[in-house]
A and B are shown apart, each in its own frame.
Chain A
Amino acid sequence: MINTKKTRLMTQCAIYRKHEGVEDLKIAGFFKEDFIRLEMLKTILAITLGYLIILGMVIIYYSEFLIAHALNLNYKMFGKKILGYYLLILVIYIVIALSRYGIVYLRSHKRLSKYYKMLGRIKKISIEQEHERELEEENWEELQA
């Protein structure tokens, strides 16, 4: 006999595993701090790459001016400005990443805890079913004897 309650629970679990579960189970492989650190590292890399691309485009844009005034330029000031802007953008993005990925981790944790609760209930039902089956087999043996 198919246990309808168990089937319902298993279906819910399978739907979860199909959608959010994929990402959530990946996230569950990390502690919260580790997950946020990893995402922050990714963000820093992405921002650095983006910033370098923008810097390259700006340098190409002002290339004529830069070549013309190559000897007279205050490179120290330029360097400070570039670094200052970079750090400013980086700090902003780190704050955003900290809050965003903290929320992401908490939400996935909540969903996962629900999922594990459902798994526990499925296990309980399976044990009950197994027990019933054993009893039936015993009864059958007794009857045969």
Chain B
Amino acid sequence: MMLLFEIRAKLAEIYQKYDFVIKALLKFALMFFALSRVCKVIGYSSSLSKSAMVVMISAVCAFLPSSLMVFVAVAYIFIQLMTASILIALTVTMIFLVLYLFFLRFTPKEGITVIATPLLCSLGFPYAIPLFLGIFGNILSIVPACCGVVAFYLLRVVQNNIITLDQLKQAKDEALPMYMNVVDNLLKNPPMYVMMAIFALVIVTIVVIRTIQMDYSFEISLGVGTGVMILAFIIGSLKYEMGISVPGMLFGSLFAMAITFFCMFFFRVLRYAAAEHVQFEDEQYYYYVKAVPKITAGSPKKAIRKILTQRKAEANAVEDEDEEEALEAMESMLARKDRPNAAPVSRSLARRVRNDMAPKRTESYIDDEDEDDEVVITGPKNRDGKNALSFVKDGLDKLKAMVAKKPARKPKAPVMPEEDDEEEDEAYEAYAKQSADRERLKANSKPEEAQGDDDYE
């Protein structure tokens, strides 16, 4: 799983670096395949059907907004059909115009869906569209998806009604019946309505379930949406001739689900991971800023603990002694709270205690000098590099620091004048002499009591 997260992080990084190029490439690819498909279906204009022309138009569309891409595609279809029949070209264009005026003007940013839907439908893989729109879109995504389905069936009807250019030339005298045939075939087309209904149902199901506040709502909605789609396609194909084989549909739906899940895994990071390039100015500076969104799932940090060899353990014995001393000092410092009259702890000692008691940082390198060293990888840590207990330790340290910083306000112990060692010795000798004389005098004045005591002993 960590490997997947790492791959995702790397992909996000690449996307951040080259987001403009990647978007342009994706748009180019989409437009290229869509126009190539149009050329196959209704490629009546030889000059427009050339691959160089298709590449050029796609390249231009790569840098256009999605709403303009739809207009370019419609214009391309119009010119292609105009070569064959002006009436059919006008009919198709009018239908697209009606779709725009009634529906698409409410969703101007969903142009890519309008282009991708007929493309995927013509490739026999329409199952990914409702799943994808349900996960990444909203309820309004039904509108462009349904418009895409209409566009697909419209081109199909045109393809079925106008087969060759010669037939077209013959049919020029009978333009009205051909027009009527096209409109009839488009409007009296139950599979189109079934497909639109299935798309709408699946999108609504997924959107409703994924907005419920529960764990794995996206995954559950995707699974339920796939199930609903399979059922709806089976019922639809049983009642109407949809030209769908059930095993192919099952496989396609499951494959679409896998693709959507894969995209969900990556896209839910990538969606917000696009870096922003902005420029502005204030009174002092010009700012050229690249704002890169944070990615929380980065590569894991490995904490390495060193287990020392005997040689180093001996060397560190002194440190252990220091630690023991520090512990003793700490205990005495804490005990001082109960005994306010005890002598205050100096700041330097308190600081030393704090440093000694603070959690040691793990080494982030491996010492290659000692071959006997054993390295234990204790696993990933959280973003701050701390585990849960470290917060408790931190709290304890803060408490200790507070205690150390606020010594009890007691009168200071009288400062004794410093004396030389010789003077001290002389004073001690004098004191010992005096005490010995005093004991001797006591012994001479009370001999009976002393004897009595001895007897008793």
Contacts and interface: CB of A to CB of B under 8 A. Distances in A.
A36 to B, nearest CB: 15
A46 B101 contact: yes
A53 B94 CA distance: 7
B176 interface: yes
Interface stretch (B277-285, B335-343, B378-386): B277-285
Contact of B280 (A14, A50, A100): A14
A57 interface: yes
Interface in B237-295: 276, 278-280, 282-283, 285, 287, 289, 291
B89 to A, nearest CB: 14
B276 A63 contact: no
Nearest to B183: A61
B179 A14 contact: no
A57 B183 contact: yes
A47 B106 CA distance: 12
A10 B282 contact: yes
Interface string B170-182: 0000001001100
A6 B289 CA distance: 13
A134 to B, nearest CB: 13
Contact of B102 (A6, A7, A13, A47): A47
A130 B283 CA distance: 10
Contact of B289 (A14, A47, A63, A96): A14
B16 to A, nearest CB: 14
A60 B282 contact: no
Interface residues of B, number: 22
Contact of A100 (B106, B278, B291): B106
Contacts of A130: 283
Interface string A30-70: 00000000000000001101100110110011011000000
Contacts of B398: none
Interface residues of A, number: 25
B98 A14 contact: no
A2 B98 CA distance: 54
Interface string A1-34: 0100011001101110010000000000000000
Nearest to B290: A11
Contact of B279 (A14, A50, A57): A14
A126 interface: yes
A61 B280 contact: no
B366 interface: no
B276 A15 contact: yes
B389 to A, nearest CB: 33
B23 interface: no
A50 B278 contact: no
B187 to A, nearest CB: 10
Contacts of A18: 276, 278
B60 to A, nearest CB: 23
B291 A15 contact: yes
A7 B279 CA distance: 11
B285 A2 contact: yes
A15 B183 contact: no
B91 interface: yes
Contact of B101 (A2, A15, A49, A96): A49
A57 B94 CA distance: 9
A50 B179 CA distance: 19
Nearest to B276: A15
Contacts of B276: 11, 15, 18
A15 B280 CA distance: 10
A126 B281 CA distance: 12
Interface in B283-314: 283, 285, 287, 289, 291
* 6 interchain residue pairs of minimum CB distance: A50-B101, A14-B278, A46-B101, A14-B280, A11-B289, A15-B276
Given A14-B289, A18-B278, 11 more contacts: A7-B287, A10-B280, A11-B278, A13-B280, A14-B278, A15-B291, A46-B101, A53-B94, A60-B176, A100-B106, A126-B282
